[in-house]
Amino acid sequence: MRRFERYGVLITGAGRGIGEATARRLAGEGAHVLVTDLDGDRAEKAAAGIRESGGDAEALSCDVADRASVEAAVAYAVRRCGTLDVLVNNAYDCHPDAPLFEDETDEIWHRDLDITLTGAYRCARAALPYLAAAPDRRGAIVSIGSVNGEQDFGNHAYSAAKAGLASLTRTLAGHAAPRGVRVNLVAPGTVHTDAWAGRESCLEAVAAHYPLGRVGLPDDIAAAVAFLASKDAAWITGTTLPVDGGILISQPAFRRALRGE
């Protein structure tokens, strides 16, 4: 099924991980995908891999922390694709917490929020007029949130940014709906990406806490993004879709305590 035939798609942070998997999925369903990443070489490598598999993809370096860079990427996507139908906000930054909250720095707080939340705001602001002009009311924004935005999994700044992104999804959905643009968010649980390199043992330990018995894969998230971006989700907007292996409904330690284990 090629749900994105003749669609123009822009994905941020798409040089690897969830962004790359999403680019591959949408290109595989017919989209012309602009793979953007702060690292232009990484973006080109991802786009080349898509082309080798028969997909239609180009690469462009884009810094979501810079308004001019974002606006240039959107303009390039429209020029190359002829239309912009889908924006996927995937770029993020996440720094580890200091041992004590009072030792957290302003620099880390601002960096995580600027890339993860304000970066998505910049991209949506630049893209919205073009998404509203997409034919057949097919314009869509899908942002990558996190279960960290729903409950405590650590990382103060990153979690606050993801919670803010879920709120922006709801408010922007209300604003954009009369213009024919849907706005939704996918909230992944733990996903095995390059960010976990060298910490595979931690992933194995975490997997035991997931009701479905494993951590996620980038393709799990890409499938959810493809659904929300497609006309299959034509009557869905302003929602947060957890794609989390059940972790948000799971309290294994609490259940063990009830059983006296």
Q: Which of 7, 92, 130, 158 is catalytic?
A: 158
Q: Which tokens sit at 252?
A: 């294994």
**Count of CA atoms in the C-beta half-sphere (13 A) of 24:** 20
Nearest to 188 by CA among 235, 153, 138: 153
- Residue 121 is a catalytic residue: no
- Cβ neighbors of 157 (< 8 A, separation 6 or more) are 94, 95, 104, 108, 109, 111, 112, 113
Q: Which residues fall within 8 angstroms of residue 261, CB to CB, at 6 or more apart?
A: none
Signed CA dihedral, 10, 215, 92, 44: sign only: negative
Which residue from 32, 33, 123, 31 is spatially nearest to 72, judged by alpha carbons?
Answer: 123
Helices 40-52 and 17-28 cross at an angle (nearest 10°) of 30
Strand ranges for 82-145 from DSSP E = 86-89, 140-144
Tokens of 79: 């020029």
CB neighbours of 112 closer than 8 A, spacing ≥ 6?
92, 93, 94, 95, 157, 158, 160, 161
Write the DSSP symbol of residue 54.
Answer: T
Alpha helices of 36-100 — where are they, by DSSP H?
40-52, 67-81
**Residues labelled as active-site residues:** 158
